Amino acid sequence: MSVQLEPTGSLAPAKQRRFFSRLIKERKMALVGLVIMGTLVLLGTVGPDMIDMDTPAGMWTERMWMEPVTENPAVGATEVWEFYNTTGDAHPMHVHEVVFEVVNREGLVPDSLAEGLVVLDGVITLPEPSETGFKDTVIAYPGQVTRVRAQFKVPGQYVWHCHIVEHEDNEMMRPFRIGPVQLGQPPEPPPM
Ligand SMILES: [Cu+2]
């Protein structure tokens, strides 16, 4: 499905958010910094996700590189991807295959982060002048959700990841798939 949209930033923030949420699937991903079994886990989802529909809304779950795909846009779908940065660092987030527009950023309530929850504080920031137009990488600042909008046109299996090499090499990378599993693509592992 292809959706024609108002240009980024042309609506008031609250109206903009309602407009997007009516039309477009939102996916909520988390940037997390946890050590589990000696491994630094740096990406995840904000529940519920495709692996665990029982995760309470707003609670994040760390997801390893080898876990099944949690982002599976339909071919031709336009989606808003939300990067919830619960860490203390800024991360340049890169999505393969697509170009995207930066929609906006919104603050997260710090006390909730300490409890494993993301709660929006309602303070919305529009993209910087240098962030207009199509991008393939966006900086996700700490304590904020960064929203981007993309159309996923080409079926296949790709990755999204932080572009800091030390981070992407340490679990800050996840697979995603556009459309159904195709011949030659890695089979879906069972949920861990
Ligand atoms: Cu990073």
Q: Is residue 5 part of a domain?
A: no
Q: Is residue 24 part of a domain?
A: yes
**How far is the CA of 151 from the CAs of 5, 21, 131, 178, in angstroms?**
12, 15, 18, 10
What integer pLDDT is reported at residue 84 of this predicted model? 97
Cα(128) to ligand 1 centroid in Å equals: 20
Domain count, the chain: 1
What integer pLDDT is reported at residue 4 of this predicted model? 43
Cα(141) to ligand 1 centroid in Å equals: 10
3-state helix, strand, coil in the chain (%, to 5): 10, 40, 45
Q: Is residue 38 part of a domain?
A: yes
What integer pLDDT is reported at residue 18 of this predicted model? 57
Cα(189) to ligand 1 centroid in Å equals: 25
What integer pLDDT is reported at residue 39 of this predicted model? 62
Cα(181) to ligand 1 centroid in Å equals: 28
Q: Is residue 1 part of a domain?
A: no
Q: Would you give the end-to-end CA distance of the chain in angstroms?
A: 32
Cα(64) to ligand 1 centroid in Å equals: 15
Cα(44) to ligand 1 centroid in Å equals: 13
Cα(183) to ligand 1 centroid in Å equals: 32
Q: What is the DSSP string of 17-84?
A: HHHHHHHSEEEEEEEEEEEETTEEEEEEEESS-SS-TTSPTTBEEE--TTSPPS--PPTTEEEEEEEE
Cα(89) to ligand 1 centroid in Å equals: 7
What integer pLDDT is reported at residue 100 of this predicted model? 97
Q: Is residue 185 part of a domain?
A: no
Cα(147) to ligand 1 centroid in Å equals: 16
Low-confidence ranges of the chain (pLDDT < 70): 1-23, 35-39, 41, 187-192
Cα(12) to ligand 1 centroid in Å equals: 30
CATH classification of the domain holding 21: 2.60.40.420
Q: Is residue 47 part of a domain?
A: yes
Q: Is residue 6 part of a domain?
A: no
Which residues constitute the domain of residue 142? 13-178
Q: Is residue 89 part of a domain?
A: yes
